[in-house]
Amino acid sequence: MLEVGDDAPQFELQNQHGETVRKTDFDGQRLVIYFYPRANTDGCTTEACGFNDTLAALEDLDTAVIGISDDSVSDLEKFAGEYDLEFDLLADEMGEVSTLYESYGEKQLFGNTFDGVFRNTYVVGPDGAIQAVYENVTPEGHAEEVLSDLEDEPAEALP
């Protein structure tokens, strides 16, 4: 995992609308980047809806949210549309950005081994440095946990 104080890796990916989104688009504000395994599955839906429900409060803290998975743009478009998600979901189909954020690799499910996205979250500060790391998160209540941590700490002093 990347650690608090590390520079957050740069990225450029397409969102659910096919538009290019870059890390530099968020310079000067805080950014929550959450990585999730698969759009439209139970845990990922719970997590996405949690961030959607807390989005206004996060925006009040000058914090943007993006979700990154190895889904296709079209799958993300369907997912965002079905749940009225109001933030960018980014398609990292080859896992390259997820790898940079140490959130991609070998997984096992039902006895099968495959490469996929790990459920991790990073908070990036206005200066581009990692301010908080959440590894192997539980989807339910995670967005509220991140919001609570952000409300409790100034942008430059997160855990």
Spot the catalytic one: 8, 39, 44, 146: 44
- Other C-beta atoms within 10 Å of 134: how many? 18
Euclidean distance between CA atoms 60 and 133, whole angstroms:
21
Cα 58 from chain centroid (whole Å):
14
Tell the residue number behind the tokens 């980047």, with chain if given: 33
Which residues does residue 114 pair with via DSSP β-bridges, in sequence order?
A: 107
| Helix/strand/coil percentages in the chain, nearest 5 | 30, 30, 40
> In this structure, what token pair is assigned to residue 38?
């698969």
Following DSSP, what letter does each residue of 12-74 receive, concatenated?
A: EEEETTS-EEEGGGGTTSEEEEEE-S-TTSHHHHHHHHHHHHHHHHHHHTTEEEEEEES--HH
User: Is 49 labeled as catalytic in the residue annotation?
Assistant: no
**Which residues are tagged catalytic?**
44
